[in-house]
Amino acid sequence: MAQLSTQLKYYQQRIEKVLDSVLPPATINPAHLHEAMRYSVLGGGKRIRPLLVYATGEALGIDAHILDIPAAAVELIHVYSLIHDDLPAMDDDDLRHNKLTCHKAFDEATAILAGDALQALSSYLLAHSPQLSIPARQRLHLIELLTMASGSRGMAGGQAIDLMSTGQSLSEPELENMHIHKTGALIRAAVQLAVVAAGETSSHRKEKLDHYAKCVGLAFQVRDDILDIESDTETLGKPQGADIALDKVTYPAIMGLQNAREKALHLYTEAITQLDAFGSEADNLRNIADFIVKRLK
């Protein structure tokens, strides 16, 4: 099993503190809603998207301090999407990260509103947080990237495609198109946020990092599909075989388990190759790719 580097584990702790500090305290009214937001955001998840923000920043030589708010903003979007995806009208999941999903721990209405409020908080932080010491134009660019990646032509659109295609037979390109939107767009945005915050100007480096992000995003999904078959419920933190139970199209279902494993490895190699233009400063990006393809949950 691939381990996260010490530095990436440090970033995991760092983003936990940042998220804790940007979320409204549960003591402030409406307390019930703020509790639900905090419950869903804090204390769970691999934080892949924030790790990508920090590791990309490292590769481009900028301080982690500049990246705290972009990293938090992308994670808030990710968590809101999980809350809504878990709702009975969507994937109807009871467990996430080994704890009850938001609508199970609270109720459906609170879960819908908690998701809505987290999305608003994400743009609010990018627009306003004094911690984010970059020029106004760059801030706007961050908001543009993240809202485009999460809207109807990004993540929300991907979830719509997923729901429409459940129970259908999909070709590999169709499945890929769904994932490029549903999870790929936000993972790509995570890397782009760091690129913009860093003020990176080399289009060669920007293209390489974007290509890396595309490969990592798709590899993440292929690995997810494999884990849905291979792993057990306790390790996954959500029910094993959930995709199959929901009649979802998966890579192993389309191409067989062995081919899916090879596809994940191929994407991993392609991701790593993109980082050839970088030295050891991109080691944490390499480590994330390694972790994503070899993780057990």
Q: Is 37 in the site for a copy of itself (CB under 8 A)?
A: yes
Would you list the DSSP string of 175-225? HHHHHIIIIIHHHHHHHHHHHHHTT---HHHHHHHHHHHHHHHHHHHHHHH
Q: Is 121 in the site for a copy of itself (CB under 8 A)?
A: yes
Residue nearer to a copy of itself on the CB measure, 74 or 226: 74
Which one among 61, 137, 234, 276 touches a copy of itself, defined by CB under 8 A? 137
Q: In whole angstroms, how close is the CB of 75 to a copy of itself at the nearest point?
A: 16
Judged by CB under 8 A, the number of residues near a copy of itself is: 53
CA distance 85 to 74: 16
CA distance 131 to 17: 14
Which one among 9, 42, 98, 107 touches a copy of itself, defined by CB under 8 A? 107
- Where are any strands of DSSP class E within 214-289? none
- Kindly identify the residues of this chain, within the stretch 224-263, that bind a copy of itself according to CB under 8 A: none
Q: Mention every residue, 6+ apart, whose C-beta is less than 8 A from residue 246.
A: 91, 166
Burial (0-12, 13-18, 19+ Cβ within 10 Å), 291: buried
**C-alpha distance from residue 99 to each of 57, 198, 236 (Å):** 32, 36, 11
- Kindly identify the residues of this chain, within the stretch 150-169, that bind a copy of itself according to CB under 8 A: 150-154, 156-157, 159-161, 163-164
Q: Is 199 in the site for a copy of itself (CB under 8 A)?
A: no
Q: Is 196 in the site for a copy of itself (CB under 8 A)?
A: no
Q: Which residues bind a copy of itself (CB under 8 A)?
A: 24, 28-30, 32-34, 37, 80-81, 84, 87, 89-90, 107-110, 112-113, 115-117, 119-121, 123-124, 126-128, 135-137, 139-141, 143-144, 147-148, 150-154, 156-157, 159-161, 163-164
